[in-house]
Structure 1
Amino acid sequence: MNNSSAASLPTPDDRLDLRGTPCPLNFVRTKLRLQKLPPGQLLEVWLDPGDPIEQVPDSLHAAGYPVAAIVNCGNYFALQVRQSTAV
């Protein structure tokens, strides 16, 4: 997992703003969006500090989705995750 700056992140194929969305809804919505993406595509999810950024990356990893980067953007976090290439 890469904790880099927003300027060095690759451009995502899709973006999902989940600021203000409570756990576990933010994980569910992220997973549903990922399932709509073709294999290998990159989704950027904007999450609040606290429980969302602490729990969503771990839940995604446990579900088999590789987290590519997490960036602290000040008042929110940008998490980049790939749709699994496994069939």
Structure 2
Amino acid sequence: MTPPEPAPTPIPAVGLDLRGTPCPVNFIRARLALEKLEPGQWLQLDLDRGEPEQMVSEGLRGDGHQVECEPFDEGAVRLLIRRHGG
């Protein structure tokens, strides 16, 4: 039996670099960017690690969006967010 193929990496429709942006401004900007996307499209979001990562990812999951996290840079994280409804 062959192992399953890895899922393809999502291609974001929009990317935002919100490193250095304080809470809750980063969360608000992420939500506004998602509102402009079609359901099922992806947003790439670069954030500082720690509280910004936690607050934004939890808030967007709470809104029903799919959130994937990957290492990005020292002290930063990249979130890939799939807009719900698609």
- TM above 0.5, yes or no, is yes
Number of the residue aligned with 2:26: 26
Q: Report the AA paired with residue 73 of structure 1.
A: F
Q: Structure 1: 5+ residue runs without aligned partners? A: 1-7
**Structure with the largest fraction of strand:** 2
**Structure with the largest fraction of helix:** 1
Give per-residue Cα distances to partners, 1:33-82, cap 9 Å, x unaligned. Answer: 00001111000100001110111110101112121x10111321000011
Give per-residue Cα distances to partners, 1:15-42, cap 9 Å, x unaligned. Answer: 0110000111111000000000111100
Aligned pair count reads 78
Q: Normalising by the residue count of structure 2, what TM-score does the alignment of the two structures yield?
A: 0.82
Q: Structure 2: 5+ residue runs without aligned partners? A: 1-7
Point out which structure has higher relative CO (alpha carbons under 8 A, 6+ apart). Answer: 1
* CA radius of gyration, larger in: 2
